[in-house]
Structure 1
Amino acid sequence: MITSRTAKECGTADFGWLQARYTFSFGHYFDPKLMGYASLRVLNQEVLAPGASFQPRTYPRVDVLNLVLQGEAEYRDSEGHSVRVKAGEAALLSTQANVSYSELNTSEKQPLTRMQLWLDACPEHENPVTQKMALPNTKSFLLASPDGEAGSLQLRQSVWIHHLDLAAGEHISIPIRGPRAYLQSIHGQVDAQGSASRECQKLACGDGAFIHQENSLTVSASTALRALLIDLPV
């Protein structure tokens, strides 16, 4: 089964310095039925004004994946680690107890646009504090995985995140390892079809879809498409 969650249904915020869209409950936006999905706790798309920043804050035990779509960000922690990430790159922060983290739009002229995911981290796993990668120019690649497969970012949870970049008319089928997955259109229109139900769900720019009990998903781009498929066996 594939159940859509349109961009219009998501929570939003506009604080001037920050514009945001929240898939799940976050900050002032609260829906008791949408507290996350399996180990996926947060899926936000946010735009920070030039020079704006998130002040230092602590996190629960999660992996924070930031995918920069426009501009450049700097992430710092209270232990002295920092990493700069520009458009076309992604960074993974393995948050630690009693450590605070901040985010800065390094440009005084250009907005910073990025996707941010929080994923529950297994308590017995430890990874490098920060990881970073440049996104390859290919229609599909593994962005993050539990074991760093194929050079992907390494998570502290059994989750596989696929990055899709399809031209109009292209399609791809991706196996799904467990009972749940989530598809997020970053931009572009897509038809998503499961292998079990054979139903097809149409998604527009910014829409997402909960995927239940499908062995694979076929993604067909109606327009140029950039998307994430988050495979959530746990």
Structure 2
Amino acid sequence: MEAVLHKSETRGKVDYGWLKSKHTFSFGSYTDESRIHFGALRVLNDDTIAGGTGFPMHPHQDMEIITIPLEGAVEHKDSIGTNGVIRAGEVQVMSAGTGILHSEFNHSASEPLSLLQIWVIPEKRSVSPRYAQKTYSVEERKNRFQVVVSPDQNSESLWIHQNAWFSLGNLDAGVRLEYERKNKKGGVYAFLIGGKVQINGVDLLPRDGAGFALDDVLEVKALEDSELLLMDVPEL
């Protein structure tokens, strides 16, 4: 794995009217051979979905899918009987495994929905499809990193079939934090949701992403009030 910097404006873009999406990695009609994945991190889509619209039933297989609503709520239905709503402040995971059908719609008829959808390549294939969601307190990630996804089925976080940890942090301007990489043969991909931060000397602006593969410890400094997602993933 190599260190990478993906500025927001360099991402792939699609605009279907009802859906506006930015793709950090190759996805759909956007293909960049230099941006296929970062270790096991395969997809990082930044979607805005108009009110009353969404994705009808479609299939997935052998992928760990994480959805993080940023504004609004997602209405989810799937072929294993799940029917629910995921709101901002919650995180959803879905193991596609042997195969699953699901739909995702904006729960609001009028207000836009903003979300991150992230795909992680699993460590084992053909598992039984599963679904889970959880509400996380924003206060518990105030000036610290809160683990929201991990491989540990016994932890308070949601779990996936991969040696990956996702952490969210809401940092006040001037706060400095350290993050120690868990995957010694892998890296950490940082995605700045909002604000301005500096990580190991690399400045990130809103929706910038950077992969750190050689640094055992990330030194994070918030240059403004910021919201940051760290994805600690193994190499393939």
Q: TM-score, normalised by structure 1?
A: 0.92
Give the AA of the match of 2:60.
Answer: Y
Change (3 A) 1:50 1:13: same
1:100 aligns with 2:101: yes
Deviation of 1:158 (Å): 0.5
Deviation of 1:233 (Å): 2.6
**2:189 counterpart (162, 182, 191):** 182
For residues 55-204 of structure 1, what are the structure 2 equivalents within 5 Å? 55-123=56-124, 126=127, 129-136=130-137, 137=139, 138-139=141-142, 140-148=145-153, 150-177=155-182, 178=184, 179-193=186-200, 200-204=201-205
Between the aligned partners of 2:6 and 2:61, the Cα distance in structure 1 is 26
Between the aligned partners of 1:119 and 1:127, the Cα distance in structure 2 is 16
Give the AA of the match of 1:84.
Answer: V
Give the AA of the match of 1:70.
Answer: E
Q: Which runs of 5+ in 2 are unaligned?
A: none
Report the identity percentage.
29
Are 1:76 and 1:103, in contact at CA under 8 Å, matched by a contact in 2? yes
Between the aligned partners of 1:146 and 1:79, the Cα distance in structure 2 is 22
Q: TM-score, normalised by structure 2?
A: 0.91
Provide the secondary structure at the position in 1 that maps to 2:60: coil
Provide the secondary structure at the position in 2 that maps to 1:75: strand
Between the aligned partners of 2:97 and 2:111, the Cα distance in structure 1 is 31
Give the AA of the match of 2:48.
Answer: V
Deviation of 1:128 (Å): 7.2
Between the aligned partners of 1:226 and 1:148, the Cα distance in structure 2 is 26
Between the aligned partners of 2:195 and 2:62, the Cα distance in structure 1 is 33
Runs of 4+ in 1 over 3 A off after TM superposition: 124-128
The answer for the alignment partner of 1:33 in structure 2 is: 34
Between the aligned partners of 1:8 and 1:105, the Cα distance in structure 2 is 25
Between the aligned partners of 2:129 and 2:56, the Cα distance in structure 1 is 23
Deviation of 1:126 (Å): 4.7
Aligned Cα root-mean-square deviation (Å)? 1.7
Are 1:68 and 1:85, in contact at CA under 8 Å, matched by a contact in 2? yes
Are 2:188 and 2:233, in contact at CA under 8 Å, matched by a contact in 1? yes
After superposition, the C-alpha distances for 1:43-91 in whole angstroms (9 at most, x for unaligned) are: 0110000011101111131111000111111111123222210111111
Between the aligned partners of 1:99 and 1:2, the Cα distance in structure 2 is 34
Between the aligned partners of 2:179 and 2:218, the Cα distance in structure 1 is 5
Between the aligned partners of 1:19 and 1:182, the Cα distance in structure 2 is 23
Between the aligned partners of 2:156 and 2:66, the Cα distance in structure 1 is 16
User: How many pairs does the alignment contain?
Assistant: 228
Provide the secondary structure at the position in 2 that maps to 1:123: coil
Between the aligned partners of 1:2 and 1:172, the Cα distance in structure 2 is 20
Between the aligned partners of 1:41 and 1:29, the Cα distance in structure 2 is 13
Give the AA of the match of 2:6.
Answer: R
Deviation of 1:2 (Å): 4.7
The answer for the alignment partner of 1:222 in structure 2 is: 223
